[in-house]
Amino acid sequence: MKVIIVDDEERARVSLRYLISEFLPNVEIVAECDGIPNAVKSIHKFHPDLVFLDIEMPGHSGLEILDFFDEKDLNFGIIFTTAYQEYAIKAFKLSAVDYLLKPINPSELTEAIERYSKINTQKINLLNTNLGRNTISCDKKIGIPMNNGIELINPENIIYIKAEGAYSEIHLTEGKKILASKNLKMFEESLTDYESLIRVHKSYLVNFKHVISISKSNGGNITLCNGMEIPFNTESYEILLEKINLIRK
């Protein structure tokens, strides 16, 4: 596993480097960076599996890292490192693999790496499963990798999926919301056989079965069964019309 350490404090980088070399022999540190600009360059250059990312740094907070990458380049995990408990909530909102409080405990570091490895294995298994079947019917569930396992959902229950950087927010009929560590394009490509899911905007996949109305006012928006209004683009409008049995005068 290739990792990058990002921390503006040299002492913190040295400490984490020591812990990794001492307790995680299968982990290779490919770069150490003192801030976000250098981290972005190193990520593009070395393509790490995982980034240990400090939050409190001069210039840019570690929480801003997703702003520097396109969806297609967000193929690495993040473990935030911080001395402040309050940042844990923000870290989980970004769906980081984990967070570690400084000073970092060796056993917590090892557990965080194990959790990351487990999640990646689940993703591979899910990919193999999805590639092995030709269609997704309403009685077939899809698996969403979570921090502690896999959540199974029925695609019929998806109202819409919203892009959140490298991650996606899945909104379900029962009012539940899931933050998944897959970008919107991956969902679009994985669910091509479920024809009711339509990419109506760069940030939204919508389940047509839950569309209540379509309006061309204010640039165009779709009203869903939960009252949410979603914008749509010109290309998707034609696709939407094809699915409507329009009653003409």
Q: Which DSSP string corresponds to the chain?
A: -EEEEE-S-HHHHHHHHHHHHHH-TT-EEEEEESSHHHHHHHHHHH--SEEEEES--SSS-GGGGGGGS-GGG---EEEEEES-TTHHHHHHHTT-SEEEESSPPHHHHHHHHHHHHHHHHHHHHHHHHHHT-S---TT--EEEEETTEEEEE-GGGEEEEEEETTEEEEEETTS-EEEESS-HHHHHHHTTT-TTEEEEETTEEEEGGGEEEEE-GGG-EEEETTS-EEE--HHHHHHHHHT------
What local confidence, expressed as pLDDT, does residue 71 receive? 62
Contacts of 78 by beta carbon, 8 Å cutoff, 6+ apart: 50, 51, 53, 65, 94, 96, 97
CB atoms within 10 A of CB 173: 15
pLDDT tens for 221-244 read 899 998 999 999 888 877 787 777
Specify the long-range contacts of residues 127-132, CB closer than 8 Å, at least 24 apart. Answer: 130/190
Mean predicted confidence (pLDDT) in 129-133: 44
Please give the model's pTM, rounded to 2 decimal places: 0.51
C-alpha torsion sign, points 5, 8, 13, 15: negative
Question: Could you tell me the CATH superfamily of domain 138-242?
Answer: LytTr DNA-binding domain (2.40.50.1020)
User: Which regions of the chain carry the CATH code 2.40.50.1020?
Assistant: 138-242
pLDDT tens for 5-36 read 999 999 999 999 999 999 999 999 999 999 99
Per the CB < 8 A criterion, the answer to whether 199 and 205 are in contact is yes
Per the CB < 8 A criterion, the answer to whether 46 and 65 are in contact is no
pLDDT tens for 140-156 read 677 776 655 677 888 88
User: Which regions of the chain carry the CATH code 3.40.50.2300?
Assistant: 2-128
Residue type, 209: K
Q: Beta strands 98-101 and 77-82: pairing type? A: parallel
Q: Which DSSP string corresponds to 129-160?
A: HHHT-S---TT--EEEEETTEEEEE-GGGEEE
Residue 181 dihedral angles phi and psi, to the nearest 5°: -90, 50
Show the CA angle centred on residue 64, arms to residues 63 and 66, nearest 5°: 100
- Does residue 96 register a pLDDT over 80? no
Please indicate whether residue 201 or residue 82 has the higher confidence score (pLDDT): 201
Mean pLDDT of the chain: 81
Q: Which CATH architecture has domain 2-128?
A: 3-Layer(aba) Sandwich (3.40)
Mean predicted confidence (pLDDT) in 74-101: 70
